[in-house]
């Protein structure tokens, strides 16, 4: 099963679970006079759209490269992750504004049965989070990981709602707003998660270099190929769950063109074998210079 297919199935599972949870939490929140539970239902509702976006983005990434998109459709995954992050920020803002309004408005104490609803919801969302995070980590899918953290945010809002409702019930008259303060606190957690997820998505969309260990592995693999004297100007970018590398390879200046072409092919093969995530390697061959230019990486 391909990485994209695994990601799509995980997103579909999250979608189905969230549809059920939204209905249960919304009805329970309205009937039980709990705005924290209603806010939790709103957060789960955004989860539905985030799962749809992730599923659509991953489905688009499975399309093969073509003349219009020679690097493939991998950017759709980063766009999906960014969209999910923005939805988290939007949900956080909406919940915070509504919670502040409820705090200023006297209302009923939440019904005790709302605690039972949340006691079921929290472990379900945590299990869903762990499952999607595992799939996202194994496939390298940023969008699936973002969707997973969206579920964790939902679990956090449910936990905050449970605490707020418990305080309101235990405190009695005068403590009704504890439920709303819990919703306000949850909105801050959601916003923080949204910002944390948005940053790597922006990095990928702006072609930021990946983490140093990957760069060093590619450089070491290329430099170890017999005939390579030095390498420099190594650039790597991520497109979806795949990477594309561009680098200058220096060889003996007397090397014939045909042999230089063969050497470049050996370097490409070595890199792709050592780092399977790298699907494209563009090599520029040039004569060896004893002193590489600034920013270069030498094998000797």
pLDDT, position 57: 78
More confident residue, 109 or 24: 24
What confidence category does residue 2 fall into, taking pLDDT thresholds of 50, 70 and 90? Answer: low
Q: What is the pLDDT of residues 89-100, one digit of tens each?
A: 887 888 788 788
pLDDT, position 144: 79
- What residue ranges do the domains of the chain occupy? 3-205, 212-298
Residue 123 has pLDDT above 70, yes or no: yes
Percent of the chain whose pLDDT exceeds 70: 91
Provide mean pLDDT across the span 17-28: 84
Residue 294 has pLDDT above 50, yes or no: no
What confidence category does residue 227 fall into, taking pLDDT thresholds of 50, 70 and 90? Answer: very high
Q: What is the pLDDT of residues 45-65, one digit of tens each?
A: 777 777 777 777 777 877 888
pTM beyond 0.75: the answer is no
What confidence category does residue 4 fall into, taking pLDDT thresholds of 50, 70 and 90? Answer: low
Residue 296 has pLDDT above 80, yes or no: no
More confident residue, 157 or 204: 204
Mean pLDDT across the chain: 82
CATH class of 3-205: mainly alpha
Domain 212-298 has CATH 3.30.70.1350: yes
Provide mean pLDDT across the span 204-231: 91
pLDDT, position 291: 60
The 10 Å CB-count burial string (b at 16+, else e) for 234-272 is: bebbbbbbbbbbebbbbbeeebeeeebeebbebbbebbb
């Amino acid at each position: 099963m391909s990485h994209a297919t695994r990601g799509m199935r995980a997103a579909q599972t999250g979608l189905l679970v969230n549809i059920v949870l939204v209905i249960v939490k919304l009805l329970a929140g309205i009937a039980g006079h709990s705005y924290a539970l209603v806010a939790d239902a709103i957060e789960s509702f955004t989860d539905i759209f985030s799962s749809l976006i992730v599923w659509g983005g991953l489905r688009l990434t499975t399309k093969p490269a073509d003349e219009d998109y020679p690097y493939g459709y991998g950017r759709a995954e980063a766009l999906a992750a960014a969209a999910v992050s923005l939805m988290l920020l939007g949900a956080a803002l909406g919940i915070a504004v509504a919670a502040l309004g409820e705090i200023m408005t006297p209302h009923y104490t939440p019904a005790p049965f709302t605690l039972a609803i949340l006691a079921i919801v929290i472990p379900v969302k945590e299990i869903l989070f762990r499952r999607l995070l595992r799939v996202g980590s194994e496939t390298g899918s940023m969008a699936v990981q973002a969707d997973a953290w969206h579920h964790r945010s939902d679990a956090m809002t449910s936990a905050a709602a449970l605490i707020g409702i418990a305080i309101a019930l235990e405190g009695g008259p005068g403590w009704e707003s504890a439920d709303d303060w819990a919703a306000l606190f949850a909105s801050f957690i959601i916003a923080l998660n949204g910002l944390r997820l948005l940053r790597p998505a922006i990095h990928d969309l702006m072609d930021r270099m990946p983490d140093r260990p990957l760069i060093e592995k590619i450089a070491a693999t290329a430099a170890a190929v017999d005939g390579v004297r030095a390498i420099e100007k190594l650039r790597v970018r991520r497109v979806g769950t795949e990477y594309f590398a561009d680098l200058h390879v220096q060889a003996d200046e007397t090397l014939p063109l045909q042999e230089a072409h063969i050497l470049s092919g050996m370097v490409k093969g070595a890199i792709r074998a050592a780092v399977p995530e790298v699907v494209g390697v563009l090599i520029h061959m040039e004569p060896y210079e004893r002193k590489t230019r600034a920013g270069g990486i030498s094998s000797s």
